[in-house]
Amino acid sequence: MVLPRWVWDYIRTIMEGGTYAELRGWFRDPVAPRHSARPTVSEVSSPCPTKRDAYLRRVTKIPMEDTEVLRLGRLIHEVFLTPFRESIPFSQLDTKFESIINEYGDLGVRYRAQLYEVYIKAVTMALNAREEGIPISVEPAIPGAPIGLSDIVKPDILVGFIPVELVTSSLTEELTSRKDIAVTAYALAIEAWIGHPVDIGVVLHVSINGKPRLTWRVIKIDDTLRRAFLDMRDTVARIIEHGDDPGPASSCSRTCPFYGVCHG
């Protein structure tokens, strides 16, 4: 199964007695867009404290620098998601892995050993999920406009109706907070799309520093998170719509693709 047994058990435990949320994706009045600009999930949940990255990309049209951190993140996503995206014959597993690694040149070669462990873990989970008949979609296209987001939003994986977000950056309190916002956005979009309540999201952290490790975190999507998402969505949409420069943040990560723009 794609989610470990203990994750299913934990979800069942925290959902005992049911749950209640006032803000559902299908309730148009409270979740309807307040602005004509519709940001993406990544813009709403970006690490930029002032959301200036959305201003630079969408208003001033400054292209985002393709840093090594971003490319490594894409590589880890590709390695992990490919076995869920397609059924690969056993005889072609290694060939498929090498083709992914080769696409990333020296970066793929540098992390080949760790990534191969991640790949084999993903292959095992994908096979188990298929054998057990667990419905899984990789990057499904879900309408985002009903909740004021871009036309399409794509959680990394959808297990049934549970959105799973894959994270590759180092775990910090800030990262944890904004990934909670991301899965909340996906939950509301799914609710608006199919009218089914989504009260759980999962964040999977894939670490390849040292021995590769997968860390699962279950998120109960309550009204506090739902309101926080809507507030952040409106903040980013207002910046884009009115072209108001929020200015550089007082503290920024040097891995931000716009760090050089904001700090020279």
Please report, for the chain, the start and end positions of each structural domain, with discontinuous segments joined by +.
5-13+21-241
pLDDT tens column, 53-90: 999 999 999 998 888 989 999 999 999 999 999 888 98
The confidence band for 21, taking pLDDT boundaries of 50, 70 and 90, is: confident
219, two tokens? 């998120």
Average pLDDT over residues 182-204: 95
Instruction: Please name the amino acid found at residue 8.
Output: W
Give me the DSSP letters along 149-218.
S-SEE--SEEETTEEEEEE-SPP-HHHHHHHHHHHHHHHHHHHHHH-----EEEEEEEE-SSS-EEEEEE
Percent of all residues in the chain with a pLDDT value above 70, rounded to a whole number: 97
Over residues 21-48, the mean pLDDT reads 92
Query: What is the predicted pLDDT for the residue at 61?
Result: 95
Report residue 57 CA to chain centroid gap. 19
Mean pLDDT of 1-28: 83
For residue 34, the 8-state DSSP code is S
**Which of 3.30.70, 1.10.10, 3.90.320, 1.10.287 is the CATH number of 5-13+21-241?**
3.90.320
Q: Residues 215-231: pLDDT tens digits?
A: 999 999 999 999 999 99
Q: Across the chain, what does the average pLDDT equal?
A: 92
In this predicted structure, the answer to whether residue 251 has a pLDDT above a threshold of 70 is yes
